[in-house]
Amino acid sequence: MTDLSTWGVVACADAVRSGRLSAVALATAALDRIAARNPAIVAVTRTLRDRALAQAAAVDAQLAAGQDPGPLAGVPYGVKDLFDVAGLPTTAGAARLKDAPPATADAEAIARLRAAGAVLVATLNMDEFAYGFVTDNAHWGITRNPHDPARFAGGSSGGSAAAVAAGMLPFALGSDTNGSIRIPASLCGIYGTKPTHGSLPLAGTYPFVHTLDDIGAFTRSAGDLALVDAVLRGGAGEAAPLGRPALLGGWFAANLAPDMAAALDRLSAGLGGLPVVDLPDVARARSAAFLLTAYEGGRLHRDALAADPLSYDPATRDRLIAGAALPDAIYAQAMAFRSVFAAHAERALADHDVLIAPATFGPAPRIDDPTIPIDGAPQPARANLGLYTQPISFLGLPVVAAPLPVAGLPMGVQLIAAKGRDSALIDYATMLEGRGLIAAKGEGR
């Protein structure tokens, strides 16, 4: 009854609220599942047993007293290790911060989830300072894909995605700057969201690139995603239905693995044959997003790098140092191009409510061959898995990453809408899920 590999957010909350299952039993089951699965997956960095059991007991006490603990009553979850958790250092995946002063309060997102009855049980692995797409962490280790442990889970929120995909937790929080939720969601076969930029609370999260950073959730179904997202934003928001979908072509149709191209064709056919839209200047948008990331990330870490460069993972350090050396004029040019590219996207969204694009080129790359093919040549996966997500990040639009119904290794798409249409976009994903055009992943692997 308490096998979390088959339980989603809504099912857990319903069971606790109805009295069929106690919140303490659910938290215990999550902790047991983590103990059993995590050694092979390396998704969890710290379990919070005492806190989780105390929170769960408080939920049970509220129910016993006839009080409503909230829509997420007793639901266990985890957070990427860049959210402040009261009493713990916020490491952002960095060994240099493992002994930092503990956070004095929970991040705002955690506080909202706690008020809704959710129970925090773990912190989750990530690329150091969120700078990477594979969750290869020099301190905690590589997070492995639950569908094939020889492959990456994606990153930088790979621990969050893998924990949900492996059935350790019904949902988890991550952050997305250039694809750090959408990529691991796709590679692990689950749902994830990058919201309209700035629409979900960032207070109490370790920053990376303020121009692009957002937080979001991972779940195994669109309905679960809707519930968690609504709690995080304080309500479901405007949800007038979306229609008129289109596929993004050009850049987004190049360099695809054959299985991904075929899956997109099936999705298009299932929707009656979709029109194809080509956005101009996508390559420039990706380059500009790269520059924004490098510049802002480098400036954020410049003083620490000057004081103690050897405390950084070399793979992270060298990229941050390069970013810190970028001139202000280059950054200004990248920022100026945002309005140009945004106008292209606005024209596309004036004619089509939902733009659909691949989240990655195909399935997860192997850990022993950490490359992906771009224009016929192998390129490092850690820096290039964001081929299709980075240009969209540049726009600040809401995106839902949704798993495709494929027989082999997981792959997913980005569903993209106009700013502020987050709730409607999740509803659209729910409709596609109901029609079998995207996949609900109720089982862990």
What's the mean pLDDT in 57-76?
A: 98
Q: How confident is the model at residue 6 (pLDDT cuts 50, 70, 90)?
A: confident
Residue 21 reports pLDDT greater than 90: yes
DSSP H helical ranges for 182-221: 182-188
Q: What is the pLDDT of residue 5?
A: 72
- pLDDT tens digits along 218-271: 999 999 999 999 999 997 666 689 999 999 999 999 999 999 999 999 999 999
Distances (CA, A) of 422 to 40, 187, 210, 277, 400: 35, 22, 20, 21, 8
Q: What is the pLDDT of residue 237?
A: 67
Q: Which of 156, 199, 393, 423 is catalytic?
A: 156
Whole-number percent of the chain with pLDDT over 90: 95
Q: Which of 80, 194, 419, 441 is catalytic?
A: 80
Asked if CATH classification 3.20.20.140 holds for the domain at 245-434, the reply, yes or no, is no
Q: What is the pLDDT of residue 444?
A: 33
Nearest to 41 by CA among 147, 184, 131, 127: 147
Residues 392 and 416 sit within 8 Å (Cβ to Cβ): yes
Q: What is the pLDDT of residue 287?
A: 96
Is position 287 annotated as part of the catalytic site?
no
Residue 302 carries which side chain, given as an amino acid letter? R
pTM of the full structure: 0.97
Burial 177-208 (b: 16+ CB within 10 A, else e): bbbbbbbbbbbbbbbbbbbbbebbbbebbbbb
* CA–CA separation, 98 and 430 (whole Å): 39
Is position 98 annotated as part of the catalytic site?
no
Nearest to 386 by CA among 399, 376, 405, 404: 399
Is position 194 annotated as part of the catalytic site?
no
Residue 404 carries which side chain, given as an amino acid letter? L
Q: What is the pLDDT of residue 266?
A: 97
What's the mean pLDDT in 165-171?
A: 97
Q: Which of 160, 180, 268, 393 is catalytic?
A: 180
- pLDDT tens digits along 365-396: 999 999 999 999 999 999 999 999 999 998 99
Segments making up each domain of the chain, as ranges: 4-233, 245-434
DSSP 103-153: BSS--HHHHHHHHTT-EEEEEE--SGGG--SS-EETTTEEPEETTEEEEE-
Please provide the size of the chain in residues.
445
- pLDDT tens digits along 340-360: 999 999 999 999 999 999 999
* CA–CA separation, 81 and 92 (whole Å): 5
Q: What is the pLDDT of residue 235?
A: 79
What is the CATH topology of the domain spanning 4-233?
Answer: Amidase signature (AS) enzymes (3.90.1300)
* CA–CA separation, 424 and 419 (whole Å): 11
Q: What is the pLDDT of residue 293?
A: 97
* CA–CA separation, 297 and 211 (whole Å): 10
* 314-324 helix and 282-307 helix, angle to the nearest 10 degrees: 100
Residue 34 reports pLDDT greater than 70: yes
CA angle 7, 145, 212 (to 5 degrees): 90
Same fold, 4-233 and 245-434: yes
What's the mean pLDDT in 213-221?
A: 98
Residues 21 and 32 sit within 8 Å (Cβ to Cβ): no
Cis peptide before 156 (omega within 30 of 0): yes
Residue 312 reports pLDDT greater than 80: yes
